[in-house]
Structure 1
Amino acid sequence: MKILQKDFALNQTGTAKLMAEEPDDVWVLYNLILPGDVVSADTTRKVHHDSSTKKNTASRVKLTLHLKVTCRDFHKDSSTLRLQGRNLHHNQHVAAGSFHTLSLEPNKPFLLRKNLWQNDAVQTLNDTTRKECSKSNSTSIPDLAVVLFHPHRAEIYLVAEGDNTHCTKVEACPNSRKNGKVSSSVFFRRVLAALVKRVDFKVLRGVVVTSEEFRAFAVSEARKMGIRWIEDNKTSVAVVEDGDSLEKVLSDPAVTVLVKDSRVRAFRELWEMVCNDSGRACYGAEEVERAKEMKAIETLLITDDLYRNEEVGTRQRYDDLVKSVKDGGGKAFVYSAMHVSASQLSQLTGVAAILRFPLPDLEVQD
């Protein structure tokens, strides 16, 4: 969200010139713009002209509407916010007092006027500004490189904060197989070459592989190839023997400490509490809502499918839940579909919470 101009103070009348930059910003506007607010924006209207030949002609003209909002509708599929209201200012083509609509979408600037900028509205814009600063200062430097071995192939991933990237897949060449078995040295050499090509070892905290044999090969080959990082950081090349998926690898305790991603650590903590039946974890919308009412939520975990649900009522429900947890001093993590822990969280209904104190009878309450 871009704040192009700001002229307001808390609990006073004022204006802000804004422009959504991405679809999520439109949802922010849906919660920011309320009935009674005035929105001014450029739009087009089809205007009919009477000619001397008595033939009607029509053209689209650009004009500015100043709508006092009466209702609004959010359309997720098109990432637009449709506003309805009464036009306040007369112009050549639109009379004052007539009802019209405006559509707000990414990259369309508009002016918002509120008779009273309450704390919620001011906080919404402040939060948006902080998020933009965080995005501009953030870097997607990976923490780990992960090499998963499967029969006759290997896959290489880069793991960064909230972002797991599949880099490449290395297939064993048919002519490298003898009697149905893959020649490990030929295959491993190709995997190591792919790893070196796609990874900047200077920024890594570690490399995780699922083959002890490949680790030994890589350490030995590094001396010949002059790969100093592997030579100097042998202890940072870890092995997870039974890691047949990225989820299993990243949930291994030895790997968790290497990953900066707080979402991975949060889910692991939640999962351990669920397995140990400690009473300090709950999942499911009803249980989490009850825990919120008791101000018991320390960390909320929610999938992107729920948090940005297509149904406006559902999206508003979980948006309010996240806001309530944060207002109460808790943390909230949203898991995108691409996140390594998202599928596991979905199996726990998509929303779960780590609690500040045990609530063992939470699930049996009416």
Structure 2
Amino acid sequence: MKLLGKYVDKGMQGTVTLMPEESEDMWHAYNLISEGDSVRSTTIRKVQNETATGSSTSSRVRTTLTIAVEGIDFDTQACVLRLKGRNIEENQYVKMGAYHTLDLELNRKFELRKPEWDTIALERIEMACDPSQSADVAAVVMQEGLAHVCLITASMTLVRSKIEVSIPRKRKGSVQQHEKGLAKFYEQVMQSILRHVNFDVVKCVLIASPGFVRDQFYEYMFQQAIKMDYKLLLDNKSKFMLVHASSGFKHSLKEVLQEPAVVAKMSDTKAAGEVKALEQFYMMLQCEPAKAFYGKKHILRAAESQAIETLLISDNLFRCQDVNLRKEYVNLVESVRDAGGEVKIFSSMHISGEQLAQLTGIAALLRFPMPELEDSDDEDDENGAVGGDHNDSDSD
């Protein structure tokens, strides 16, 4: 993302002009733009023209529109962001108040104005415009006949390619068809890696599978690399890492990213930091449950006592349409930081973010035990409220 202009005054009013340069930037734009914001960008509009004889012709013209955003649609596969809203500035082709849909595209700048900017939105801009925040981990999760080639960025787990090949079974006295099928499958996976993995950016390529599939594929790939002189693979051989996974499906990435060897290799990536924080939370929940809580009610009470050491919060919560609720979460993040705590904002498009969403989207590791928070659940139960250990009913 390129920052072309930024003016935000002390009252947190102002505009920011940005240009998305890669698909990841569309995800950042989706997190930045909320209903009620105004967005200015160029667009194509169909215009009806009436001639002197009464006949009409239509033409497509490029014009610049400013709309008050009422609806946001994000296509994660195509990485296209569509904003629907009413025109709020005079335009020769579009009446004031008329509805229009703006498509935000790569390499097309847009200007964003918010009723009030907050620290989370400004941080998102900083992160999006930092060139080091790129897809620095790739992963291939595979089993015989099935493979997913994924890119793990700071914000998303993107499935770039799904490969399915029918492999004949081994038959008594003949394994030729089976081996041919395997070779065809391995070839397609290798070509997919060459096509989708940018080795200039990627620091680590994980190859994960049950059994010996990963070893056989690795051997095949580098035999072919020598035979066909694939310099790209040979020069980056040290970046490949073989790890165990229970299957070739995307959800197996969760366990792959928790492997100690993988965490060590990816220690300088944000994705690993989130996975590690979530793993620590689960461990604390088992070993010292009075120091690990999730759910809005518990977290707010812990923050009041300045007890939060690490706050885990989903970016989903900052996309809520209720302005006051968003402010509540922003204030929570700021209070935890002011008290010397660490805040990890999880992406809902990342495997770790999906896990956090199952825990209400908000969790915390505490500096000291607060058993009174557990006791408050028991009191709620006695009063007939819906409650449970480490959970509450008013969380989002």
> What TM-score do the two structures reach when normalised by structure 2?
0.59
Q: Which residue of 2 aligns with 1:184?
A: 182
Change beyond 3 A, Cα 1:360–1:212: farther
Change beyond 3 A, Cα 1:127–1:151: closer
Structure 2: tracts of 5 or more residues without a match: 19-28, 38-67, 73-82, 86-109, 172-176, 209-213, 380-396
Counterpart check, 1:268 vs 2:268: no
After superposition, residues 192-271 of structure 1 pair within 5 angstroms as: 192-210=190-208, 211-228=214-231, 230-231=233-234, 234=237, 236-244=239-247, 245-259=252-266, 260-261=269-270, 262-271=273-282
AA aligned to 1:200 is N
Q: Which residue of 1 aligns with 2:55?
A: none
Identical aligned pairs, as a percentage?
A: 28
Q: Which residue of 2 aligns with 1:89?
A: none
8 Å CA contact 2:118–2:330 kept in 1: the answer is no
Could you tell me how far 1:195 is from its partner in structure 2?
0.6
8 Å CA contact 1:147–1:208 kept in 2: the answer is yes
Partner residue of 1:307 out of 297, 318, 331 = 318
**Aligned equivalents of 1:200 and 1:351: distance in 2?**
34
Could you tell me how far 1:137 is from its partner in structure 2?
2.8
* Higher Rg: 1
8 Å CA contact 2:127–2:133 kept in 1: the answer is no
Could you tell me how far 1:201 is from its partner in structure 2?
2.2
8 Å CA contact 1:164–1:340 kept in 2: the answer is yes
Structure 1: tracts of 5 or more residues without a match: 9-13, 31-73, 82-105, 113-120
8 Å CA contact 1:264–1:341 kept in 2: the answer is yes
Q: Which residue of 2 aligns with 1:166?
A: 159
Change beyond 3 A, Cα 1:224–1:130: same
**Aligned equivalents of 1:169 and 1:340: distance in 2?**
17
Structure 1 residues 61-87: Cα deviation after superposition (integer angstroms, max 9, x where no partner): xxxxxxxxxxxxx98747899xxxxxx
Change beyond 3 A, Cα 1:140–1:221: farther
After superposition, residues 1-366 of structure 1 pair within 5 angstroms as: 3-4=6-7, 18=15, 77=71, 107=111, 131-172=124-165, 183-210=181-208, 211-228=214-231, 230-231=233-234, 234=237, 236-244=239-247, 245-259=252-266, 260-261=269-270, 262-277=273-288, 279-365=290-376
Structure 1 residues 195-233: Cα deviation after superposition (integer angstroms, max 9, x where no partner): 112212233222111223222322333322334565466
> What TM-score do the two structures reach when normalised by structure 1?
0.63
SS at match of 2:320: coil
AA aligned to 1:195 is I
Could you tell me how far 1:108 is from its partner in structure 2?
7.0
Could you tell me how far 1:317 is from its partner in structure 2?
2.7
Change beyond 3 A, Cα 1:356–1:224: farther
Could you tell me how far 1:141 is from its partner in structure 2?
3.0
Moved more, 297-306 or 311-320: 311-320
RMSD in angstroms over aligned alpha carbons?
A: 4.0
